[in-house]
Amino acid sequence: MLSRAVCGTSRQLAPALGYLGSRQKHSLPDLPYDYGALEPHINAQIMQLHHSKHHAAYVNNLNVTEEKYQEALAKGDVTAQIALQPALKFNGGGHINHSIFWTNLSPNGGGEPKGELLEAIKRDFGSFDKFKEKLTAASVGVQGSGWGWLGFNKERGHLQIAACPNQDPLQGTTGLIPLLGIDVWEHAYYLQYKNVRPDYLKAIWNVINWENVTGKIHGLQKVNHDRYADHTLMIPAR
C-alpha cells in the first residue's frame, strides 16, 4: 500500500548547531567507483560535473553558512540565525542527499533486490514492478527540481515513497529514514537525456545498488532493534 509523503517547505530544518565551536568542516566524499563506471546509463561527464562541481558547491556553501551561523550564535543574533536557516537547509540537504545518492548507485547494480528487502517491497507495494512504477511516477511528478525517495516509516514499520522539492532532506522534513534516493534535478541527467526525465529514470534502475539499500535496512534494524521491536521490515508470519 502506497503511503506517499511530500516534504512540506513549511517544516523548517532546525539543526542543533551548538557544537559548531569545535566542529570539523564537511568534506566532499569520494565516489566508490570511477566517473565513467555507470555508463552507458549515466555518462562520465554528468558524473564528474555532478560530483566535483554541484555536490562540492553544496559542501563549500554549507561550511560557509555554518561559520556565519556560529558567528551569529556567538553574538546572540537571533535574526541572523533565522535568516541563515534556508541556506542551512538547502546546502545541508544537498550534501546529505548526494552522499546517500552516490552509494545508492553501482556499476554492478540493477535487477531486483533479494531476501528481506524484496519481501518488504512486495508487502508494502504489492510487487517489485508496482513499487518501481510508483517511485518512478513520484520522481517524474516532481515539479522543477527535487528527489524521489524510498524511505522507512519507523512509526508504522513500513516502507514509504516520498517526493521532496529542491534539496529538502528526507529525514529532516518528513521523519522518514532514507533508503534510496533518485536525484531529478536537471544537472543529474540533462547532458545525456536533455529534458526527457522519464528516459533518465528508466535508465537509472540499471545501476541501483540494492546491496547498499539492504545494508541500510540492516543497519537500521540493528540500531533500533530494542526500541522498534514491533516495527521491523520482516514479513509477518502467515
In this model, does residue 181 exceed pLDDT 80? yes
In this model, does residue 40 exceed pLDDT 50? yes
Q: What is the pTM of this model?
A: 0.85
Radius of gyration from C-alpha coordinates of the chain: 18
Over the chain, what is the mean pLDDT? 88
Give the mean model confidence (pLDDT) for residues 37-61: 98
Assigned architecture for domain 115-231:
3-Layer(bab) Sandwich (3.55)
> Domain limits of the chain?
44-104, 115-231
Q: Known binder of ligand: residue 98?
A: yes
pLDDT value of position 128: 98
The domain defined by 44-104 folds into Helix Hairpins (1.10.287)
Between 53 and 232, name the one with better pLDDT.
53
For residue 146, what are the β-bridge partners?
Answer: 165
| pLDDT interval class at 6 (50, 70, 90) | very low
CA distance 116 to 104: 18
In this model, does residue 30 exceed pLDDT 60? yes
Q: Known binder of ligand: residue 187?
A: yes
The label of the residue with cell 554492478 reads 108
Torsion angle of C-alpha atoms 130, 133, 138, 140, degrees rounded to 10 = 180
Q: What percent of the chain has pLDDT over 70?
A: 82
Give the mean model confidence (pLDDT) for residues 72-92: 97
CA distance 177 to 150: 9
* 126 backbone φψ class: left, alpha, beta (φ>0; ψ -120 to 50): left
pLDDT value of position 100: 98
Please, is 10 exposed, middle or buried when counting C-beta atoms within 10 Å of its C-beta (0-12, 13-18, 19+)? Answer: exposed
Q: Known binder of ligand: residue 50?
A: yes
Alpha carbon distances (Å) from 20 to 66, 70, 204: 7, 6, 37
Q: Known binder of ligand: residue 95?
A: no
